[in-house]
């Protein structure tokens, strides 16, 4: 069995939850996600937690951690999915988390955040963790809102680098868009022109994954 690195107490100065369920999520993610998605997921947690601190929003760190680490799992099993990848991932997350001892109400909040992170509009009425995951993934995929995390980005990216994330993620969502055109992936790829957005992103202009400039927010998603 592949060994799993111990879960740090913080990443780039951002506190990581250390409860039993969060540790189980970490072990599962290390064994279930390819490196490009694992690193993206951890970075997304860090961006979400940073936004919460800036906005002074109280949030459940364990719920955000679980949602961030599981949110893209559906992209790893597109051939087996019968629903859009985020819906598949949400159902899997709920089962896993309840099996690891997370209360059902909390597991539901994780599942909702995972489903909504692909929607064009998420508000605090949907739950603070849903907003945080939505904004965090927008930052990590498209650089949208990078100025919110610029102070912590170098430390986080040095531990969980981007590598070939842009190319691999675009290929994965494009595969779903081609086979399930009614899913949100198709909106992101075609209507929002994800490929062009990623080229314009400050992430793409960097050598080590730390942006060198601001990125204007000119579309939703």
Segment 134-173, tens digit of pLDDT: 999 999 999 999 999 999 999 999 999 999 999 999 999 9
Would residue 192 count as lying in a domain? yes
Q: Any idea what the CATH number is for the domain that residue 170 is in?
A: 1.10.3210
Packing angle of the helix pair 61-70, 85-99 (nearest 10 deg)? 130
Would residue 2 count as lying in a domain? no
Residues 187 and 70 sit within 8 Å (Cβ to Cβ): no
Which residues span the domain enclosing 110?
Answer: 17-205
Would residue 86 count as lying in a domain? yes
Segment 11-49, tens digit of pLDDT: 999 999 999 999 999 999 999 999 999 999 999 999 999
Cα–Cα nearest to 40, from 50, 51, 29, 31 = 29
Total-model pTM: 0.91
Would residue 221 count as lying in a domain? no
Segment 50-107, tens digit of pLDDT: 999 999 999 999 999 999 999 999 999 999 999 999 999 999 999 999 999 999 999 9
What's the structural domain count of the chain? 1
Would residue 212 count as lying in a domain? no
């Amino acid at each position: 069995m592949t060994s799993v690195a111990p879960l740090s107490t913080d990443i780039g100065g951002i506190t990581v939850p250390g409860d039993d369920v969060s540790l189980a999520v970490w072990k599962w993610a290390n064994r279930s996600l390819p490196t490009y998605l694992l690193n993206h997921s951890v970075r997304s947690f860090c961006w979400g937690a940073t936004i919460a601190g800036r906005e002074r929003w109280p949030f459940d760190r364990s719920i955000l951690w679980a949602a961030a680490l599981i949110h893209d799992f559906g992209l790893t099993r597109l051939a087996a999915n019968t629903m859009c990848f985020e819906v598949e991932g949400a159902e899997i997350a709920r089962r896993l988390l309840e099996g690891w001892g997370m209360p059902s109400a909390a597991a539901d909040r994780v599942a909702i955040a995972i489903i909504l992170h692909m929607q064009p509009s998420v508000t605090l009425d949907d739950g603070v963790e849903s907003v945080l995951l939505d904004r965090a993934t927008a930052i990590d995929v498209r650089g949208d809102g990078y100025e919110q995390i610029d102070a912590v980005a170098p430390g986080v990216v040095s531990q969980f680098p981007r590598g070939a994330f842009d190319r691999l993620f675009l290929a994965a969502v494009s595969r779903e868009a081609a086979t399930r055109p009614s899913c949100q992936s198709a909106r992101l790829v075609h209507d929002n022109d994800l490929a062009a957005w990623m080229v314009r992103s400050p992430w793409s202009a960097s050598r080590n994954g730390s942006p060198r400039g601001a990125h204007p927010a000119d579309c939703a998603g």
